[in-house]
Structure 1
Amino acid sequence: MDISVLLVDDEELVRAGMSAILGNAPGITVAGEASDGCEVVPLVRRLRPDVVVMDVRMPTVDGITATRDLMAAVADPPRVLVITTFERDDYVYEALREGASGFLLKRSRPAEIVQAVRTVATGDSVLFPAAIRSLVQGRQAREPGDALAGAQLTEREAEVLRLMARGMSNAEIAERLFLGVQTVKTHVSGTLAKLGARDRTQAVVLAYESGFVGAG
């Protein structure tokens, strides 16, 4: 299946580089480009991309607002992969909370960029656990969370959530727990439903915010 991508970045050079990398990757097509977050919703409605590669810092409408607007305005929205210069960027954390499926550093190697797009297109997440821990740790004092209270996760679901928070894929979790991949998917789906999380990225953020997974 061909993956269509919308590139959103205010720097033309960055868009050109991303377009060259992704456009030359088998099975990926760059459907369009935008220079600001205000263009995202109209372009997504017209182009229906599978993945939006979104800069988090843009002059008029930033990637956080654009991601929030996209999730609210478009039925069955595309996956959002935010890109940033700095690993410990508060903007990244906010974008993840608003619905982004993961983030990528602009200095990432071409192969990593291609793999990240393919990963989020399949419904998985691209996370850097160490960076998320650092971002959450700086916020816990002023944004205490209790998002997992009352979720009533089973022992297996709790175990799966902890491994998700370490950045493991379904296949890696299956190997670690000696389970089938489909069984892991079932546990992930059950966990998301109980947490009221839209995807595994939001579930991981909730796990750290609530203290279920330690930020230290």
Structure 2
Amino acid sequence: MKVLLVDAFPMVRAALTGLIEQHFAGAQVQGVDTAAAARAALDQDMPRLVLLDLQVDGGFELLQQIHREHLLLPVVVISGTDDTEDALQALGAGAMGYVPQRSDLNTMVQALQLVLAGGTYVPPLKPLAQAQAPVAPAASQAWAELPLTPRQKGVLDLLARGLSNKEIARELNIGVDTVKDHVAAVLKALGANSRTQAVLIATQKARG
């Protein structure tokens, strides 16, 4: 598995490279420090995963480009903050995960595993501290005022737990294509550009 790591700081690149190589057997990490170098690396050999620090000059534009040109390539943003607006911006641009650098090693590994499995990762954010918590039945009650059908709210509950479309289909005993239709409807109703952004928007609305 090839991982492209985009971060301007050599010490951060070294630490993340060591973490990935230790916990993901056979992983090969290519570290670069600029958006231009990242684009060159993508042209040469497509990775399985991209880790991106948006503080890199042109980092946000790089995220948008990857989402536009390589829709199936997951990008996890490694951020120095847990600010909700920063997370919404990154997730809305196509990131499949948002991991604050303050996260402990186990959390970071679990986040990468989740994204590689087709899910999304939302950390506890300020003020959305419940965004990554396991979703209980109360979540649907909290989202009672959202413009969603009961089935769509159930799908949203499972999205909040990071489940993939296939896992949601098994959980609800429906077809994957039906799940895709429900997810598309949820995103449209909430004005979201990604599954993770939909969860954040829903939680924000529920908290008023």
Q: Say whether the fold is shared (TM-score over 0.5).
A: yes
What SS does structure 2 have at the residue aligned with 1:133? coil
Within the alignment, does 1:88 sit opposite 2:86 as a pair? no
Name structure 1 gaps, 5 residues minimum: 135-147
Matches within 5 A, 1:155-174: 155-165=150-160, 168-170=161-163
Matches within 5 A, 1:8-27: 8-27=6-25
Q: Percent of pairs identical after alignment? A: 25
When the two structures are superposed, what TM-score results if normalisation uses the length of structure 1? 0.71
What SS does structure 1 have at the residue aligned with 2:173? helix
Partner of 1:142: none
* CA RMSD, Structure 1 to Structure 2 (Å): 3.1
Q: Deviations over 1:115-145 (max 9, x none)?
A: 21111111101102544738xxxxxxxxxxx
| Residue of structure 1 aligned with 2:66, choices 66, 70, 73 | 70
Tell me, in whole angstroms, the C-alpha distance in 1 between the residues paired with 2:72 and 2:45.
Answer: 12
What SS does structure 1 have at the residue aligned with 2:91? helix
What SS does structure 1 have at the residue aligned with 2:23? coil
Partner of 1:61: 58
When the two structures are superposed, what TM-score results if normalisation uses the length of structure 2? 0.73
What SS does structure 2 have at the residue aligned with 1:53? strand
Count of residues paired in the alignment: 186
Tell me, in whole angstroms, the C-alpha distance in 2 between the residues paired with 1:51 and 1:129.
Answer: 22
Distance change >3 Å, CA 102–CA 26, structure 1 → 2? closer
Q: Deviations over 1:65-102 (max 9, x none)?
A: 21001122x24441011011221164332111100011
Name structure 2 gaps, 5 residues minimum: 130-145
| Residue of structure 2 aligned with 1:183, choices 153, 160, 173 | 173
Partner of 2:138: none
Contact 1:31 1:49 in 2 (8 A): no
Matches within 5 A, 1:58-137: 58=56, 60-62=57-59, 64-72=60-68, 74-88=69-83, 90-128=85-123, 130-131=125-126, 133=128
Q: Deviations over 1:152-193 (max 9, x none)?
A: x5422222214534xx1339xx8xx9x843737846423222
